[in-house]
Amino acid sequence: MNAQVSTIAGEPLPQELHDLLNSSDGAAFEQALDVLVRQREQRMFRALGLLARDLHDAVRRLGGDLAQEGVPGSVADARQHLQDVLEMSSQAAHRTLDFAERMRPQAEAVAENANAVIDGTAEGDVAHVLAKQAQSFANECREGLADFVVAQSWQDLAGQRIKKVVNFIGSVEHSLLELVSLTGALANGEAAAAPVKVTSQDEADRLLSEFGF
Amino acid sequence: MKILVVDDFSTMRRIVRNLLVELGFSNPLIQEADDGENALTMLRANAFDLVVTDWNMPNMTGIDLLRAIRAEPALKGMPVLMVTAENNRDQIIAAAQAGVNGYIVKPFTAVTLQEKLTKIFERLAASGATA
């Protein structure tokens, strides 16, 4: 029995416990065991306390570093910058599409008119030659403009990546926020009961600003 | 032919619309939705002949839209062409299992779109003839 207990604990039993185990006083044994467990708990709590203080300091430093970065001034700013890029790229792509949609019917009209001239003039005629050139150019334009349109899909592909980064920044921000409130709670000696949830960006910003973000 | 183009990026909706017009489809008969949820509402309210949808969208994704279409008796025969940047093998398989009619990986060209559309309509005609 003794041998078994000391094997499980991984270290030899204190002499006091060892003696008690061999005694018939059950109450005294339990009390001694309680004292031992409490001692171990206190050691663990002290270690946790130190860890929490280190973590809190680290998060405070991180908060300070982020605040001193300048531009972008905060995580939320960084996200907003990316949103702006998304919006600007969308507007630019739409402007290009406006242009392509405006020019295509014109190219079609030139091709049609040139066709009429080709039909109505003799081969070798100056107008005939010119109309043929115009028709070929108009057709080239039509194809080119179609490629133009398809090429704008870069905005969708790049935009999807930007959206992913925006979401990623959001989750980092959320984790940081949880970390900050957790270390705050620990440093104040409060129990970090339920996970803190924020429901809006304003709330998040308010909370972060309390910690110097 | 009434076509519903579903994509959360307005640029891509416009590009797909342009390509469809280029391929000879009527511009006024093409309508747009910015996510699966809105698309489903539009599909229930109006008769469409074809859905061209993106995969990644907020609220309801393209694959969920496809599954919702296949689960609804009034819509389940609707041809659905998926146009997406998702080229993950599992996703393509998921789309196939959900009953997609065609799958185009972005970026794509008018030629690819035409090929896939032609294939979809050929298959539909063939299954219509044998049914």
Interval A62-94: pLDDT, tens: 766 655 554 445 777 888 889 999 999 999 999
Measured distance CA(B116)–CA(B108) in Å, rounded: 11
Q: Which of A83, A88, A97, A149 to mutate to test the interface with B (most CBs of B within 10 A)?
A: A149
Please tell me which of the candidates B10, B56, B107 has its beta carbon nearest to residue A153. Answer: B107
Per cent of chain A over pLDDT 70 is: 71
Contacts of A209 (CB under 8 A, 6+ apart): none
CB-CB under 8 Å, A94 with B107:
no
Closest Cβ–Cβ partner in A90, A101, A150 for B10: A90
Under the phi-then-psi rule, with left for phi > 0, alpha for psi from -120 to 50, and beta for the rest, what region is A191?
Answer: beta
- pLDDT, tens only, A130-185: 999 999 999 999 999 988 999 999 999 999 999 999 989 888 877 877 776 676 66
ipTM score for this prediction: 0.80
The residue of B7, B10, B13, B15 whose CB has the most chain A CBs within 10 angstroms, and thus the best one to mutate to test that interface, is B15
* Contact (Cβ atoms closer than 8 angstroms) between residue B5 and residue B31: yes
Q: Which A residues, 34 through 93, put their C-beta within 8 Å of a C-beta on chain B?
A: 90, 93
Q: Which of B11, B19, B108 sits opposite A94 (nearest CB)?
A: B11
Amino acid A48: pLDDT: 87
CB of A167 less than 8 A from some CB of B = no
Rama region for B79: left / alpha / beta (φ>0; ψ in -120 to 50; rest): beta
**How many C-beta neighbours within 10 Å does residue A85 have?**
15
DSSP state of B106: S
Q: How many residues does chain A have?
A: 213
* Residue A205 pLDDT exceeds 50: yes
What does the pLDDT look like over B8-32, one tens digit per residue?
A: 999 999 999 999 998 899 999 999 9
- Backbone dihedral angles phi then psi of residue B103, each to the nearest 5 degrees: -140, 120
Q: Is A97 on the interface with B (CB under 8 A)?
A: yes
Interchain proximity A156–B11, CB inside 8 Å: yes
Measured in angstroms, the CA of B23 and the nearest CA of chain A are apart by: 11
Hey, are the CB atoms on B11 and A155 less than 8 Å from each other? yes
How far away is chain B from the Cα of A145, in angstroms, using its nearest Cα?
A: 10
Interface contact A156-B12, CB threshold 8 A: yes
Does A101 lie at the interface with B, CB-CB under 8 angstroms? yes
Q: What are phi and psi of A128, to 5 degrees?
A: -60, -45
Cα–Cα dist A103/B81, whole Å: 29
CB distance B35 to B60 below 8 Å: yes
Which tens digits make up the pLDDT trace of B27-80?
999 999 999 999 999 999 999 999 999 999 999 999 999 999 999 999 999 999
Please answer whether residues A135 and A114 qualify as being in contact, where contact means their C-beta atoms are separated by less than 8 angstroms.
Answer: yes
Residue A150 forms contact with B (CB below 8 Å): yes
Spatial CB neighbours of A97, under 8 Å, sequence gap ≥ 6: A149, A152, B11, B14, B15, B18
Q: Which residue of A has its CA nearest to B23?
A: A146
Q: Hey, are the CB atoms on A146 and B14 less than 8 Å from each other?
A: no
